[in-house]
Amino acid sequence: MPLEAFIRRMPKVELHVHLEGSIRPQTLLTLAQRNNVAIPAHSVAELRDWYQFTDFAHFIEIYMAICNCLRTPDDFELIATEFLRGQAQQNIQYSEVIFTPYTHHEHVSMDEQLAAINRARAWAETNLGVRMALAPDISRQRRPIDHSLIVADWALANRDNGIIALGLGGPEIDNPPELFREAFDRIHAAGLPSLPHAGETVGPASIWGALNALHAVRIGHGVRCLEDPQLVAYLREKQIPLDVSPTSNVCLGVASSLAEHPLPQLIAEGLFVTINSDDPPMFGTTLTDEYLHIAQTFDFGLSLIKRLVVNGIRASLLPEDARRSLENQFQAQFTQLQNALKL
Ligand SMILES: [Zn+2]
């Protein structure tokens, strides 16, 4: 029980969470109604039923329907504000947040999206004391591929405006990393980090592609690296962080249950692992829940939980001095909390 209280109150960071996938159920219903967008759910309970995914393709179909409910800059400011309130409630003091700007650009320009999200970011920093940095991503199923260059150039142009990296999301099957080489070469040459999803619905080939063709500095998911011992050795040697999202993996069939999730094995292999919620309301979870579930399911103790939190700081894209100072602050807060809970 004291560990549960510790997890609820401990300071956290989150590196892999999607803004569109974090829209509160009630807010989604409001947005659909006020923008006259039909969705097949009219209550929070019906939304919960709608969020029962048969596979990754089904998940993407629902994800796109959710994205379609975002029609004005105010919508973006609202969902970002609510997202940051939720992070503050969980004591998530710093988040690196993914969103997919090109998906919405016909309704709200990418610049307007960013400006709206940045208004929420500034508000939350002042009023809630939580910080956020943005990692827009390229949608890998969209054709023609040229849009990836538009997003890459736009991300580069806005790197002093809250953007810290470029990601790649969407279905891995039939959309290998190599297709997006040019966009990622471009950001790499300019020094903007690359954060592709890989190794979730496709195995090691996708992770190798993310590393070799896209210059990945972290891998979104990456849990299927375990299928290739050479890849495991490479990831361990280079200490390339994996953004692991256990409940997401269960909901999308990457793991058959939480008990069967490879997290303990990834840690035992000496891999650099962080814990994340991915699309929390769509998977009925929160980052706090993720820590609670793994502590309980795998019997993880206090020191491992703290190590996973610190991994999040170390794997973040904060400048090195900021990482060090955040880690010092977290260690002091851990000690204070342990004393308070007599842990
Ligand atoms: Zn993701």
pLDDT digits (tens, 9 = 90+) for 208-257: 999 999 999 999 999 999 999 999 999 999 999 999 999 999 999 999 99
Give the pLDDT mean for 313-341. 98
Is 227 one of the annotated active-site residues of the chain?
no
What letters, b where the CB count within 10 A reaches 16 and e where it falls short, cover 90-114? bbbbbbbbbbbbbbbbebbebebbb
**To the nearest 10°, the Cα dihedral for 194, 199, 205, 210?**
0
Q: Model-level pTM?
A: 0.98
pLDDT digits (tens, 9 = 90+) for 9-50: 999 999 999 999 999 999 999 999 999 999 999 999 999 999
* Pairwise CA distance, residues 166 & 188, whole Å: 10
Backbone φ and ψ of 95, nearest 5°: -135, 140
Domains of the chain: 2-24+70-341 (3.20.20.140)
Task: Assess contact for 141 and 175: CB atoms under 8 A.
Answer: yes
Using DSSP, state whether 94 is helix, strand or coil. strand
* Pairwise CA distance, residues 198 & 130, whole Å: 28
Query: Residues lining ligand 1 (ion), CB within 5 A?
Result: 278
Distance 16 CA to ligand 1 centre (A): 6
pLDDT for the residue 61: 93
Inform me whether the pLDDT recorded for 63 exceeds 80: yes
Inform me whether the pLDDT recorded for 323 exceeds 90: yes
Distance 278 CA to ligand 1 centre (A): 5
**Residue carrying structure tokens 């020191």:** 303
Distance 287 CA to ligand 1 centre (A): 13
Inform me whether the pLDDT recorded for 59 exceeds 90: yes
Annotated catalytic residue, options 200, 227, 260, 290: 200
Give the pLDDT mean for 183-191. 98
Give the pLDDT mean for 123-149. 97
Inform me whether the pLDDT recorded for 1 exceeds 80: no
**Residue carrying structure tokens 């039909």:** 38
Distance 197 CA to ligand 1 centre (A): 7
**Residue carrying structure tokens 């307007």:** 112
pLDDT > 90: percent of the chain: 99
Distance 134 CA to ligand 1 centre (A): 13
pLDDT > 70: percent of the chain: 100
Q: Rounded mean pLDDT of the chain? A: 97
DSSP labels, 137-201:
EEETT-SSTTHHHHHHHHHHHTTTTTB--EEEES--TT--GGGGHHHHHHHHHTT--EEEEESSS
Distance 338 CA to ligand 1 centre (A): 32
